[in-house]
Amino acid sequence: MPDSGVRVRFAPSPTGALHIGGAHTALFNWLWARRNGGSFVLRVEDTDRERSTAEYERTIMDGLKWLGLNWDEGPDIGGGYGPYRQSERMDSYRRRAMDLLDRGLAYKEGEAVIFRVPEGEDLVLHDIIYGDINVQSDRSSMKTDGSIKDIVIIKSDGMPTYNYAVVVDDHDMNITCVIRGEDHISNTPKQMLLYRALGWEAPQFAHLPMILGGDKKKLSKRHGATSVFEYNDMGYLPDAMFNFLALLGWTPGNGLEIFDRELAAKKFELSRVIKKPSVFDMNKLNFVNQEHLKALAPKTRREIIEPFWRSLGLSPERFDCKYLEDALTLMGGRGRTTKELAEYSDYFLDFGPVKDRYDASEITPERKDLLRKFFTELFGSLKPPDWSAAKLEAAARGWCESNGASLKDVAMPLRWALTGRKVSPGVFEVAELLGRDECWARLARYEFIV
Ligand code: GLU
């Protein structure tokens, strides 16, 4: 149970899906809460009534759950500091605005409430990641001509602005450390002024480094998938995605790159996050995903791959689990994503895709005669229980030797006829697993056996 007093929050606006930047921020908050046995709070910043939807709120929550980032307090589960949607906290924003008005620290302009930015005050933002940043109050909010721009805290429609609501909520929810993207650094001095005016102690701040695309520009839609769910559909494992996102700005040390949530939560240090922007490198993501894919238990791997087989039009339910698990184990480290692994192993489930890929048109009549002789003898000499990779290979080698052929001459056509691919796991292993009857049927289709 959380008890350390560390309270952090992820505060998304439900105006879009959970994108990579948001997931990264949420993950670092989660890590810091778990590292300290603290609380991870989910607060929905839905003051933009036009663009916020319940649907987006749900998608964001689903995205967090997919990544395994469970929260301790939030709009769905409540908690001691609710409500957890800003739209339900209007009273406290109004009450504090009245207080600032009463004390002459804010003024009205029509229905709007404006905070008067004090002149000549020095502010130091002690950022855990960026270090100390000095700002003069006059410079915290400026017009283009350099003059001070006061801060709107309540808009004329009665809604609070982001900079104001975030301060009131972080204070009221007892947040001890604000961890968010570096794009908010410029907002922080304004928020510090508001803390001061309201007579509150500001929380600690930690701004996370920017995430860049492969072209070193700020990550955006141009770089491909932005919502975390798209990565699920593309065949990335949540555990791998977690691992990969954690590596954007942090590493557990000792060159360790592949790890799980527990290890990350044990080792995470906010002060060791680097401020240099990190690059969202697809090759790295593929590598991390492949490593997690390899490490899965056979049953789990099969369960994860099944929907991907189905989306290729294959029917895993026609086979027993053991057969499918053995097929995936035989695939070894092939496939960087679950999607690729499903594709690369399709021939274990159906001959259809093999026929689509391979038509044996490169085999001359003479070679076909040779293959027919070879396969007919091989199938004549080996039947279950002798139908094993080792015996198949020994028999093939023996035959090639006495017939002046090279193993490749028979093994390549066998590979093509069974898998429809140039590359596969050991072809005799594939033949063993497919079974004698299925191999016969496939070879017969290409007239390699009679
Ligand atoms: N709702 C803000 C955002 O999504 C939260 C920023 C913050 O963490 O203060 O950018």
Structure confidence at residue 1 (pLDDT): 46
CA 239 to ligand 1 center in whole angstroms: 25
Atom of ligand 1 nearest to the CA of 25: 8
Note the pTM of the prediction, 2 decimals.
Answer: 0.92
Domain spans, the chain: 7-71+211-279, 89-208, 296-345, 355-445
**Angle 266-268-272 from CA coordinates, rounded to 5°:** 150
Structure confidence at residue 93 (pLDDT): 98
| Superfamily name and number for 89-208 | HUPs (3.40.50.620)
Residues 6+ apart with CB under 8 A from 279: 211, 212, 213, 214, 216
**Domains 296-345 and 355-445 equal at CATH topology level:** no
- Name the 3-class secondary structure at 42: strand
Say which CATH topology domain 355-445 has.
Arc Repressor Mutant, subunit A (1.10.10)
Structure confidence at residue 81 (pLDDT): 98
CA 11 to ligand 1 center in whole angstroms: 5
CA 46 to ligand 1 center in whole angstroms: 11
Contact 69, 26 (CB under 8 A): yes
Structure confidence at residue 3 (pLDDT): 61
Q: Give me the active site residues, please.
A: 221
85: its two tokens: 């949607």
The CATH label, of 3.40.50.620, 3.30.360.10, 3.30.565.10, 3.60.20.30, for the domain at 7-71+211-279 is 3.40.50.620
Structure confidence at residue 147 (pLDDT): 66
Residues 6+ apart with CB under 8 A from 425: 330, 331, 332, 334
182: its two tokens: 């570096």
Atom of ligand 1 nearest to the CA of 178: 8
Nearest residue (by CA) to ligand 1, atom 3, is 12
Structure confidence at residue 285 (pLDDT): 97
Place of tokens 């679950």: 338
The residues lining ligand 1, judged by C-beta closer than 6 Å to any ligand atom, are: 11-13, 45, 166, 180, 184
The CATH label, of 1.10.3470, 1.20.120, 1.10.8, 1.10.10, for the domain at 296-345 is 1.10.8
Q: What is the pLDDT along the chain (450 residues), one digit of tens a residue?
A: 456 799 999 999 999 999 999 999 999 999 999 999 999 999 999 999 999 999 999 999 999 999 999 999 999 999 999 999 999 999 999 999 999 999 999 999 999 999 999 988 888 999 999 999 888 877 777 777 766 789 999 999 999 999 999 999 999 999 999 999 999 999 999 999 999 999 999 999 999 999 999 888 888 877 877 789 899 999 999 999 999 999 999 999 999 999 999 999 999 999 999 999 999 999 999 999 999 999 999 999 999 999 999 999 999 999 999 999 999 999 998 999 999 999 999 999 999 999 999 999 999 999 999 999 999 999 999 999 999 999 999 999 999 999 999 999 999 999 999 999 999 999 999 999 999 999 999 999 999 998
